Chain A
């Protein structure tokens, strides 16, 4: 059960960091952002200790975590005084249904030890290897025999898992699902508060309930859950648009990039969508912390020559050879779509909603579209069999931006009904 205590510890640490960034932050968002920042902080600390050659221990990692968060917390003067996060949420009976769904998910996530193939081969494997080495094992990542573990993938999740093992004193994947549930809960708390700003308590609760389909990732122990949380929360906060929300979104975007390669393309997609939405460049530039958080891993993986399979030699040739097969590729993507009934309802809703309301949600919709184009590009250049690659991954990655999409669709439907 070390995972449970780690979740609590990281939430407290992260809340101190969140308050240092925005001292008036409170309510559900404070708890949600707290856990997300806590997991980001443990990634930064463990990465930094490993780079400078300090062997991890539960004591040194926790001490640095507390030091950083404490210094930031007690220097509150650095944080801006004004904030848009009021933190007042009136609960509704619909929230009880969401709690039941969440409870079912916690059961699902913790019923047995992590069971996904990609957990053994990628995320859990790296965490376990790093835990044994008490640091990032560059020899393991660089070995040609371990190419299957995708050495280029960002390390936020493996380092978080390794921290749980440090707290536990030994490796155990039995309760790793608690961490997956925590990421999901963190996003739901932020969703609930964002929805409460825009509509009635009952509708806000229904919007939160609707996002559970994607916020509660079935991929227990994989990085999709954390990416859904970081990316989903970032998009909703950017959508709100005030300076405080942008500050949080910038950090969350950076953490998304530190979680999965799709998080890096998400940063690019966000910038493109903001430009399309005619956001002033000064405002877009406020997202610079995302770059700072994404950069260390990009530099390290280049320095250690860790290969990215998509960029294997012959990329241009594969792209040109497959462009003609794009319609079939699109068809396969549709066939493997996760939750097709829900996506169909989302598509129907896009037709129902008046255009004047639809255009107000340009940012999230364009971001999703651009991210989808990145996915298609990846399938076009993959050195693997494209059909196999789509079949084995699109169902999973198509859920990544589901939560913010459902959120904006539901808010648009609520506004349409009101008008």
Chain B
């Protein structure tokens, strides 16, 4: 009976000891969500957007930035700019309708659409 009661108490108690949920990653990335929201406002479903962020591909930071952009910009096609070896994926930069750079400058002839929330968006 002791085991029976112990399991019930430990089980119920464990639910109360879970960490309080928080958007820690978003908080750590400052105005990145606002930057993505601004891109969403400028672009339309079906558009392709090449994304440049100051993080090494394969790192957790890069994954966060790329996944979050894909989520915020659902309906648009988000393309990475850096490959696994750290080289520029020229095809993606060339083919994308828009190029977005956050905390970085893009050496490009593309016209600048806007600069805000720590980043900039270039048109084709």
Contacts and interface: CB of A to CB of B under 8 A. Distances in A.
Contacts of A108: 15, 18, 20-21
Interface in A166-222: 171, 203, 206-207, 209-214, 216, 218, 220
Contacts of A346: 7
A68 interface: no
B74 A209 contact: no
Given A143-B77, A345-B3, A410-B7, A213 B67 contact: no
B108 interface: no
Given A133-B45, A209-B12, A406-B11, 14 more contacts: A97-B12, A101-B12, A112-B21, A121-B63, A131-B74, A143-B77, A145-B77, A149-B70, A171-B74, A210-B7, A212-B15, A213-B11, A216-B15, A348-B3
A128 interface: yes
Contact of A409 (B7, B63, B68, B77): B7
A377 interface: no
Contact of B6 (A128, A220, A345): A345
Contacts of A104: 15-16
A234 to B, nearest CB: 21
A43 B4 CA distance: 38
Interface of A: 94, 97-98, 101, 104-105, 108, 111-113, 115, 117, 120-121, 124-125, 128-129, 131-133, 140, 143, 145-146, 148-149, 171, 203, 206-207, 209-214, 216, 218, 220, 339, 341-342, 345-346, 348-349, 352, 406, 409-410, 413-414, 417
28 contacts: A97-B12, A104-B15, A104-B16, A112-B22, A115-B21, A120-B67, A125-B67, A125-B70, A125-B71, A128-B75, A131-B74, A132-B74, A143-B77, A145-B79, A203-B4, A206-B4, A206-B5, A209-B11, A209-B12, A211-B11, A213-B10, A213-B11, A214-B11, A349-B3, A410-B7, A413-B3, A417-B1, A417-B4
B4 A111 contact: no
Contacts of A417: 1, 4
A198 to B, nearest CB: 13
Nearest to B25: A117
Given A148-B67, A345-B3, A212 B77 contact: no
Contact of B67 (A117, A220, A406): A117
**Lowest 10 A-B CB distances belong to which pairs?**
A132-B75, A213-B11, A128-B74, A121-B67, A413-B4, A120-B71, A210-B11, A210-B8, A206-B8, A129-B74
Given A145-B80, A212-B15, A121 B8 contact: no
Main secondary structure of the interface of B (DSSP, over half): helix
Contacts of A125: 67, 70-71, 74
B14 interface: yes
Contacts of B79: 145
B78 interface: yes
B5 A213 contact: no
B27 to A, nearest CB: 11
Interface in B2-42: 3-8, 10-12, 14-16, 18, 20-23, 25
A210 B12 contact: yes
A131 B75 CA distance: 8
Given A206-B4, A352-B3, A121 B15 contact: no
Contacts of A213: 10-12, 14-15
A111 B10 contact: no
Interface in B36-60: 45
A145 B73 CA distance: 14
Contacts of B18: 108, 218
A2 B1 CA distance: 44
Interface in B74-101: 74-75, 77-80
Contacts of B6: 345
Contacts of B10: 213, 341-342, 345
A342 B15 contact: no
Contacts of A128: 71, 74-75
Contacts of B64: 117
